[in-house]
Chain A
């Protein structure tokens, strides 16, 4: 038994004050990013009350993540601020990854949309654990491959992020590619080959239409190899 439970401190007041003010912290532009940091860290270490989790989930699925990313792209917001609110979304999604499809409530659907969105941003790599767990968990839900839709959404985004580009830091790209492999493996184990091929081929086709000639060369080689394997 811990020292604190023995002497029976009244912990509830302090927690209650903060948890009952969650909405206010996030409605205030001066405290939102600090609140995101703090609640994200606490949620990682302990279970928060159900009502607090619900409020936090509603906040991160309200469009604030997407909006903060656009503000970051237009240099109106620091990457740290975007990162804070995104990390909170990731923490909440990871905490409930096994329940997101069972059932797929409107709130769960929005949270998955946020996760797909984040897979296509600078913090894409931070979503890897979630997507790997989601793919594994989706196998256990019903028989209708309910997770497939989401995996088909995220796969092209991860492929795009893994593709070589002139403006990328080679070290960062290599690290990304190393880490994304396990996610690809998890997705490949879940998606049927038809869906998998369709998602990859669609991405290759869209890549081949790009202006970047070097990408085209690589993509054509891949497509040619793929066609030869099929025949």
Chain B
């Protein structure tokens, strides 16, 4: 039976991988484009699961008065 890795680990690994991709200059445009699509999928998944916005972006104040 295959073991399933905890989601937290996968999420952290993905963050690490994408951070590494973005550090290489000049960018591999195709790879960065794919990374952006991963981000979209991740955000869609989180939105679908109704994760609270404060959980998604805990480091930012939210209710924006306009700049």
Q: Report A's interface with B, CB cutoff 8 A.
A: 2-5, 7-19, 21, 24-25, 28, 30-31, 34-35, 37-38, 41-42, 45-54, 57, 96, 99-100, 105, 107-108
What are 8 A-B pairs at a CB distance below 8 A? Answer: A10-B12, A12-B57, A34-B37, A42-B39, A46-B56, A52-B60, A99-B65, A105-B66
A-B contact count (CB 8 A): 121
Name the B residues within 8 Å of A99 (CB-CB). 65-66
Enumerate chain B residues within 8 angstroms of A53, measured Cβ to Cβ: 64, 67
Whether the pair A38, B37 counts as a contact (CB closer than 8 A) is yes
Interface of A is mostly: helix
Do B66 and A5 touch across chains, with their CB atoms under 8 A apart?
no
B residues touching A (Cβ–Cβ < 8 Å)?
Answer: 7-8, 11-12, 14-15, 18-19, 22, 27, 29, 32-33, 36-37, 39-40, 42-44, 46-47, 49-53, 55-62, 64-67
Whether the Cβ atoms of A11 and B56 lie closer than 8 Å is: yes
B36 touches A14 (CB 8 A): no
B46 / chain A contacts, CB cutoff of 8 Å: 4, 11, 46
